[in-house]
Homo-oligomer: A and B are copies of this chain.
Amino acid sequence: MVNKIAESAAAAIADIKDGATILVGGFGTAGLPFALVDALIEHGARDLVIVSNNAGNGETGLAALLKAKRVRKIICSFPRQTDSWVFDGLYRAGEIELDVVPQGNLAERMRAAGAGIGAFYCPTGYGTLLAGDRETRSINGRDYVLEFPIHGDFALIKALKGDRWGNLVYRKTARNFGPVMAMAAKVAIAQVDEVVELGALDPELVATPGIFIQRVVAVGIQAAKVA
């Protein structure tokens, strides 16, 4: 019987090794898999490369992982926020590498990884610092930058409900990076509010088919943020 349900967040992330590249879902705190990140801090893996839209908020979640000095490098679109003081401090002290990627390229590069696309010509960032020394090409009069996939060893994402086949449904804008990160990682791990029986999810509503998910762990309802 296919059973992707892990018994705990700790068990779900137990094989993450030092140096792993980990895609971490969420936009700000919406969709951020706090239970999995907390388990990762507890687990102790270090020298990690984190791919996530932001670089942590306040002192919890990604910020706590950063504060514990487990992250060598972060690939993100928007590290600087009003509550990103943990990242800001590490960055100014030269204790973390930063690769800033436009938000849409971050998503599309992970989708490309998941979809088996070798590289793609993207108009975003053409003629800017963030295009760096990437190849460019003019196609039908428009200028593009060649972008390569971002693969993850692991993805840690959050969904509303999941089943033992790994099918996921999300909630509102907490969906954000979940589906593309699930595609892009060798091992995609989802924390869900609730595990439901196989067949309980509407097959039309499944936003991440189970083929993209290796492990699911129920953690109960975790609010995105207490205001």
Contact = CB atoms under 8 A, between A and B. Distances in A.
A211 B38 CA distance: 38
Interface stretch (A73-81, A87-95, A116-124, A186-194): A116-124
B139 A204 contact: no
A225 interface: no
A154 interface: no
Interface residues of A, number: 25
A137 interface: yes
Nearest to A122: B117
A177 interface: no
A144 interface: yes
Contacts of A123: 116, 118
Residue of A119, A172, A207 with highest tally of chain B CB at under 10 A: A119
A204 to B, nearest CB: 6
Nearest to A148: B139
10 closest cross-chain pairs (CB), A and B = A118-B121, A118-B144, A120-B120, A118-B139, A119-B121, A117-B120, A205-B205, A119-B139, A204-B205, A116-B123
Given A118-B120, A119-B139, A120-B120, 6 more contacts: A108-B115, A112-B120, A116-B122, A117-B121, A119-B144, A171-B204
